């Protein structure tokens, strides 16, 4: 058997073994939520379309949970009301799988090219590992929209903005109109001085929201004046699944959580994010800008359930990217160990050990484990140095930089998340 055929056979066997191991892991570790959130969406839309009720008045039977997204999200999800329940599940799962696959391909393929890995093998391994990632499996099991929103933002930041495409910002605007929290990426565009893209994103979000308002005036009025401000519909702030700074503060004193302390922590976190994001954009590192903004969104949002932490996936992949780009030695080992530890914690359901009792030092550290990971990624994710058009290195003053002598592939190209840059 030729060497290439042996290698392919070994890779196929490796992927099959890894997929079987992940399947066995999920059978033991994954919690089955029965598409709970999807049932909320489906029930609310059915109530609205077929039963004549108001979408924001709907509550899933025997729960306090109702439809909490803006009216434009209802417009996007409207076809669901005309599908059988099983078909709605299939569409939800397929949407998560497809968007995740494309995003991971954009992030992993450049690593595979530079490291000389077989590209399909790298993607297959990454997808298996992503399936075990707790936020990802929670997103699928709940029937959530997280990967769709991440994909829309990534289209802008990884594909359109680096090429100067005039449509850059549309994806962010659509994501912000579907769910408010991705609106932080509009702030990211403003903080980093991309005024045209920020205007496009803002205009898109406003335009589609006005369209939804014109189509559904009663629902829009209720959302913007009442439902948006009803925080009781989203759940208990101190619940261990809330892995945001607000959740940390709430678990310190569930009965009287300090709003002042939360605001101070959030402002300090935003200041760190703004500084690091500007530094990343200054050296053309748009992927790290995406990762940093995803992390800060999870931290400063009042409610960040575990499934929302899919926004940390780009940062974990970029840790591996930076490790493989670093010269063999201590720095590479440190980055790989950091990526392994972060990933291991985020598949382990660690925080749930303190679901019933998060008091004491161990409760403070353990119940907020995913928050500490988000903070570490925000503060220490390396910012890459890219080549300027004249071939010189671009510097970001005062920011830790990662030398990348092996950023060239055999064809003499450099890659900025899948986009080749010719060194002049």
Q: For the segment 204-231, what is each residue's pLDDT rounded down to a tens digit?
A: 999 999 999 999 999 999 999 888 877 6
The number of folded domains in the chain is 1
Instruction: Identify whether 293 is part of a domain.
Output: yes
Of all residues in the chain, the percent with pLDDT exceeding 90 is 79
Give tens-digit pLDDT for 343-393.
Answer: 999 999 999 999 999 999 999 999 999 999 999 999 999 998 654 444 444
Instruction: Identify whether 46 is part of a domain.
Output: no
Residue range of the domain that includes 288 = 238-384
Q: Which of 270-274, 319-323, 404-408 has the highest mean pLDDT?
A: 270-274
What is the band of 50 on the pLDDT scale with cuts at 50, 70, 90?
A: very high
Q: How far apart are CA 361 and CA 398, in angstroms?
A: 34
Instruction: Identify whether 353 is part of a domain.
Output: yes
Task: Look at residues 64, 62, 42, 46 and name the one whose alpha carbon lies nearest to residue 54.
Answer: 46
Outline where 118-258 has alpha helix (H): 119-132, 134-142, 146-154, 170-178, 184-191, 195-215, 217-225, 245-252
Of all residues in the chain, the percent with pLDDT exceeding 70 is 89
Contacts of residue 36, defined as CB under 8 A and 6 or more positions apart, other chains included, come to 60, 142, 143
Q: Does residue 288 have a pLDDT over 90?
A: yes
Instruction: Identify whether 273 is part of a domain.
Output: yes
Instruction: Identify whether 79 is part of a domain.
Output: no
Q: Does residue 292 have a pLDDT over 50?
A: yes
* Burial of 340: CB neighbours in 10 Å, binned 0-12, 13-18, 19+: middle
Instruction: Identify whether 292 is part of a domain.
Output: yes
Q: Produce one character per residue of 230-261: b if its CB has 16 or more CB atoms within 10 Å, e if not.
A: eeeeeeebbbbbbbbbbbbbbbbeeeebeeee
Give tens-digit pLDDT for 2-22.
Answer: 777 888 999 999 999 999 999
pLDDT, residue 32, reads: 86
Q: Does residue 302 have a pLDDT over 90?
A: yes
pLDDT, residue 226, reads: 86
Instruction: Identify whether 223 is part of a domain.
Output: no
Q: Does residue 261 have a pLDDT over 50?
A: yes
Contact 380, 334 (CB under 8 A): no
What is the band of 192 on the pLDDT scale with cuts at 50, 70, 90?
A: very high
Instruction: Identify whether 123 is part of a domain.
Output: no
**Which is it for the CA torsion 34, 38, 44, 48, positive or negative?**
negative
Q: How far apart are CA 178 and CA 180, in angstroms?
A: 7
């Amino acid at each position: 058997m030729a060497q290439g055929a042996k290698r392919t056979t070994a890779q196929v066997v490796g992927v099959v073994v890894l997929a079987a191991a992940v399947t066995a892991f999920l059978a033991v570790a994954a919690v089955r939520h029965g598409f709970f959130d999807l049932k909320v969406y489906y029930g609310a839309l059915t109530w609205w379309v077929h039963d004549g009720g108001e979408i924001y008045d709907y509550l899933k039977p025997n729960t306090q949970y109702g439809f909490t997204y803006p009216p434009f999200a209802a417009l996007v999800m409207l076809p669901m009301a005309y599908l059988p329940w099983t078909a709605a599940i299939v569409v939800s799962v397929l949407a998560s799988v497809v968007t995740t696959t494309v995003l991971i391909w954009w992030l992993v393929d450049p690593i595979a090219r530079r490291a000389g890995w077989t590209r399909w093998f790298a993607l297959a391994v990454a997808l298996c590992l992503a399936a075990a990632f707790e936020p990802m499996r929670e997103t699928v099991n709940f029937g959530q929209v997280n990967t769709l929103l991440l994909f829309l933002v990534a289209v802008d930041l990884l594909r359109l903005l680096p090429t100067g495409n005039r449509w850059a910002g549309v994806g962010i605007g659509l994501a912000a109109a579907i769910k408010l929290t991705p609106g932080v990426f509009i702030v990211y565009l403003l903080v980093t001085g991309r005024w045209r893209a920020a205007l496009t994103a803002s205009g898109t979000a406003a335009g589609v929201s006005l369209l939804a308002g014109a189509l559904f005036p009663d629902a829009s009025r209720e959302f913007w004046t009442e439902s948006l401000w009803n925080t009781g519909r989203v759940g208990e702030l101190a619940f261990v699944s809330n892995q945001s700074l607000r959740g940390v503060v709430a678990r310190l004193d569930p009965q009287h959580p300090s709003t002042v302390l939360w605001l101070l922590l959030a402002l300090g976190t935003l200041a760190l994010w703004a500084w690091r994001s500007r530094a990343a954009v200054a050296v053309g590192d748009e992927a790290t800008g995406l990762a940093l903004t995803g992390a800060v969104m999870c931290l400063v949002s009042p409610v960040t359930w575990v499934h929302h932490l899919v926004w940390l996936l780009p940062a974990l992949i970029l840790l591996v990217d930076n490790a493989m780009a670093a010269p063999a030695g201590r720095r590479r080992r440190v980055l790989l160990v950091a990526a392994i530890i972060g990933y291991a914690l985020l598949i382990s359901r660690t925080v749930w050990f303190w679901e019933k009792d998060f008091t004491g030092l161990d409760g403070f550290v353990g119940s907020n484990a995913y928050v500490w990971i988000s903070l570490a990624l925000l503060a220490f994710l390396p910012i890459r140095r890219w080549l300027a058009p004249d071939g010189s290195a671009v510097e970001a003053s005062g920011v830790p930089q990662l030398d990348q002598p092996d950023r060239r592939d055999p064809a003499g190209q450099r890659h900025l998340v899948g986009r080749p840059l010719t060194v002049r």
